[in-house]
Chains A and B, each alone.
Chain A
Amino acid sequence: DAGVTQSPTHLIKTRGQQVTLRCSPKSGHDTVSWYQQALGQGPQFIFQYYEEEERQRGNFPDRFSGHQFPNYSSELNVNALLLGDSALYLCASSLPASGIYEQYFGPGTRLTVT
């Protein structure tokens, strides 16, 4: 049973560029959440997708957008990159409808903006 997978592992971008990160949820999970973890900080919730729609959103600007596909995989897009966007981006999947609320995290994508 594959867990949550993310790609790429590492990414280096320049200020002003756009980036797309990808996530495949744990088998059977239908809800995907994205978190940003800056160096020395705990993860911060960006948004959550369910049934291909954004269901919840944290305190992040519109430069951060996402998408969920029919197979429940998801993408996180960040436009007009800033130096402060450098962080570990974590994807988590869950199945809230089952009554099991824990989230399973992927290994993350390390984004460096120069």
Chain B
Amino acid sequence: AQSVTQPDIHITVSEGASLELRCNYSYGATPYLFWYVQSPGQGLQLLLKYFSGDTLVQGIKGFEAEFKRSQSSFNLRKPSVHWSDAAEYFCAVGAEDSGYSTLTFGKGTMLLVSP
């Protein structure tokens, strides 16, 4: 069975500083990988996805993520964080036996942005 680990429960970043959120996955085949963001009291918004091809993928709101098969990682990055980026971030892997249409999520990383 697939699994996702997000090692950092909380991260605090100063506004304007760069950001990297870690995600490691366990899956037997080529994974479909996603990053979602959740603001308080809200549902999940898709930031970006990796299906195949270029291992560096661009998403919305200036986020990018790099798929590294050798490290089983799919880390999320942003060069300059804005206060509005404060939210909870979830990494997820798609399950092959369902046509990649069900997701296994990590426990999330809460991003705090300091002034």
Chain A interfacial positions (CB closer than 8 Å to B): 4, 31, 33, 35, 40-45, 48, 55-56, 58, 90, 92, 94, 96, 101-108
| B101 nearest CB neighbor, chain A only | A96
What are 20 inter-chain pairs, A to B, with CB distance below 8 A?
A31-B101, A33-B103, A35-B103, A40-B107, A42-B4, A42-B108, A43-B103, A45-B104, A48-B101, A56-B95, A92-B44, A92-B103, A101-B32, A101-B51, A101-B94, A101-B100, A101-B101, A105-B36, A105-B45, A107-B42
Known A42-B105, A42-B107, A102-B34: A4·B43 in contact at CB below 8 Å: yes
> In the complex the two chains form, is A102's CB within 8 Å of B49's CB?
yes
Q: Which residue of B lies closest to A95 (CB)?
A: B101
The one of B43, B97, B99 that contacts A105, using a Cβ cutoff of 8 Å = B43
A81 vs B44: C-alpha distance in the bound complex, in angstroms? 25
B interface size (C-beta, 8 A): 28
Chain B residues near A42 (CB-CB < 8 A): 4, 90, 92, 105-108
Closest-by-CB residue of B relative to A31 is B101
Contact of B102 with A45 in the complex, beta carbons under 8 Å: yes
Whether, in the assembled complex, B71 has its beta carbon less than 8 Å from a beta carbon of chain A, the answer is no
> 9 closest A-B pairs (Cβ-Cβ)?
A42-B105, A105-B44, A105-B43, A96-B101, A101-B100, A107-B43, A96-B99, A56-B98, A42-B107
Q: Collect the chain A residues with CB atoms within 8 Å of residue B100's CB.
A: 96, 101
